[in-house]
Amino acid sequence: MKSKKIRLSFLALFILIVATAGFLFENCALQIGTTSVPIVPSFPLLVTPLNSVVFLGHTLQLTAILNENGTTYVSYPSNSNTQNFKWTCVGANTNGVGTVAKDSIDQTGLFTATDVGDVVINVGYTDANGNLFNSPILFPVKITVIQPEAVVVSNLTDSTLSLYYDYDNNQNQGALYYQSVSFLKAVPTPTFVSTDPTDQYLYAISQTSTGSEVISSYILNSPITNFSINYQIYPLLHTFDYVSPLLTPTPLGTISDQYTSTGKLIFDPSGKYAYTANGISNTVTEFNVTNGVLSYMAVSHISVSSPQSIAFSLQTALFSGLYSATATYAYIADSTNNVIYTYQSVSGVLTPTSIAPVTGIGTPYRILPDPDGQHILVLNVNSTPSISAFNQNPSGVLTPYGSSLVFPVEMGVPTAITFHPGSNYFYATTVNSASGTNFIHVYSMFDDNQNPQIALVTSAMTGNNPAAIAVDSTGYYVYVINAGDNTVSQYTSSLAPLTPATFPTGAVPHDITF
């Protein structure tokens, strides 16, 4: 572990952060207020929270070490000198203004997170003569206390949504456990679940026996005013606004559509508009979104050949200061003609452009933008399964990104893909029916020199018939839905199994979302 040192005439006082089960990122190099987390050990890219993160109700052991005239004193493990260390916790009020004493810390430096928000921890030392030494007034360590994220799984057969937090009641980081209301009933045959860009609202798509569908809307999380977390996910700085999960999602209503979607409800970057791709009926349904409630646009359906999936360019939303993009583009996968169409969003209405369709990609099943708005992945499921990658350009044109990734026969058929929040990695699940093997793989988008190259980094076994993948907001935990054995497989980002390695779901889980 590294530490910082303060020199005070004849003594020096410094603090080490010692990770316990309550610390969000375990087994990683720490500095005061800074945590470095390798995403994949064989690659040098780091996720760095700009302050240490602790889950609400968890603990974090800090150790103060004092060197005085050749003698070393420590606050932990406890000894006769521990009582001379003086710790304080000061944090912001819930509205982000002012400071109040909050959380708690004992004289050994054991911090207990009792309030959501930022907290600054200070320590000093009182010598035998009663003199208080610190640096020279304060020696702060900044910590952010967060609640766990809400995780939702749709279960086809028993018509339920499973509700979880992303840490268990034994404080195992990343391991799922049920919320107090573990299943949300009366959701007939839920297929796909998704959240809006603010993460406040949850949407579940249910198919009916007549070939139509119903979309149910819920309030899933409550926003916390003036509180966000910054992550340095190489090479860019990311900020996500923190939300507090509700124990029981609040229903907002339902809306029916005469057509059946072939994927999730997809939102444009503003969150004001949402869409479903209806591959069987050759249509895309368009919705307005107001405070989480869906309503049809004036143009409620547009005709598109065999739309399987929709993805939006995120350049306008994330890179307005770096790119000249002035329009929002949508990419729609046509699984009959095996092409990708480029549409432009005009007040939410998707309008065809003159940009030539992307060809030569096989049969597109899923299309996915990376979180940084730089690349698009296309999952192809024809006789030679592959993933095609493209660069997003401000003009809306997609240009090839290296050669396609062809899955070896022994891997089987890809079933799902998702990006890591850092955009330099993505995950894919495969099923080999002949051998009965199921895997999740992590791929890099760049080599060590940042040259464009899709390459397999590592793989891990999953449960039976993996159907969907999700990664938490921190980018440190990965979850796979296994439809064949009614479980969730849970991993670190480098695909090391968590404890426990699996967690039960309802009958035939189909999708997962944070």
User: Span 92-97, mean pLDDT?
Assistant: 41
> Band of the pLDDT at 330, cuts 50, 70, 90?
very high
Give the start-end residues of each E strand in 107-187: 110-112, 117-126, 132-133, 141-146, 150-155, 160-167, 173-184
User: Residues near 373 by Cβ (< 8 Å), separated by ≥ 6?
Assistant: 313, 314, 315, 316, 317, 318, 319, 392
What is the model's pLDDT at position 297? 97
**pLDDT tens profile 255-282:** 999 998 989 999 998 899 999 999 999 9
Task: Please tell me which residue, 366 or 188, carries the higher pLDDT value.
Answer: 366
Residue 315 host element (H or E) = helix 315-318
Q: What Rg value do the Cα atoms of the chain yield, rounded?
A: 25
**pLDDT tens profile 331-384:** 999 999 999 999 999 889 999 999 999 998 889 999 999 887 788 999 998 878
Do 148 and 65 form a contact (C-beta atoms < 8 A)? no
> Band of the pLDDT at 406, cuts 50, 70, 90?
confident
User: Residues near 131 by Cβ (< 8 Å), separated by ≥ 6?
Assistant: none
**pLDDT tens profile 217-260:** 998 877 654 445 444 443 444 454 556 666 678 889 999 999 98
How far is residue 443's CA from residue 478's CA, in Å, rounded to a whole number? 14
What is the model's pLDDT at position 209? 76
Instruction: Identify any residues that bridge with 461 across adjacent strands, giving them in sequence order.
Output: 439
> Band of the pLDDT at 99, cuts 50, 70, 90?
very low
Instruction: Please tell me the least confidently modeled range out of 21-30, 175-184, 418-427.
Output: 21-30
Give yes or no for residue 402 having a pLDDT over 70.
yes
- b/e map of 31-59 (b: 16 or more CB within 10 Å)? bbbbbebbbbeebebbbbbbbbbbbbebb
What is the model's pLDDT at position 10? 29
Query: What percent of the chain is predicted at pLDDT more than 90?
Result: 36
- b/e map of 377-397 (b: 16 or more CB within 10 Å)? bbbbbeeebbbbbbebbbebe
How far is residue 197's CA from residue 366's CA, in Å, rounded to a whole number? 19
Within 10 angstroms of residue 225's Cβ, the number of other Cβ atoms is: 10
| Closest alpha carbon to 204 in 269, 149, 153 | 153
User: Span 386-392, mean pLDDT?
Assistant: 90
Do 275 and 266 form a contact (C-beta atoms < 8 A)? yes
What is the model's pLDDT at position 122? 75
How far is residue 117's CA from residue 38's CA, in Å, rounded to a whole number? 25
6-146 CATH fold: Immunoglobulin-like (2.60.40)
Write out the two tokens for 371.
Answer: 């979180």
> Band of the pLDDT at 26, cuts 50, 70, 90?
very low
User: Span 484-512, mean pLDDT?
Assistant: 92
For the chain, the average pLDDT equals 75
What is the model's pLDDT at position 247? 61
Domain extent listing, the chain: 6-146
Write out the two tokens for 355.
Answer: 């940009």
Amino acid, res. 12: A
Give yes or no for residue 37 having a pLDDT over 80.
no
N-terminal to C-terminal alpha carbon distance within the chain: 33
User: Span 124-135, mean pLDDT?
Assistant: 64
> Band of the pLDDT at 94, cuts 50, 70, 90?
very low
**pLDDT tens profile 410-421:** 888 999 999 988
Task: Please tell me which residue, 187 or 426, carries the higher pLDDT value.
Answer: 426
> Band of the pLDDT at 50, cuts 50, 70, 90?
very low
Give the start-end residues of each E strand in 56-113: 59-68, 71-74, 85-92, 99-101, 104-105, 110-112
User: Span 308-321, mean pLDDT?
Assistant: 65
How far is residue 487's CA from residue 417's CA, in Å, rounded to a whole number? 18
What is the model's pLDDT at position 468? 97
What is the model's pLDDT at position 212? 85
**pLDDT tens profile 145-179:** 766 778 899 998 888 888 887 665 454 556 666 55
**What letter does residue 385 receive in the DSSP assignment?**
-
How far is residue 32's CA from residue 3's CA, in Å, rounded to a whole number? 7
User: Span 286-308, mean pLDDT?
Assistant: 96
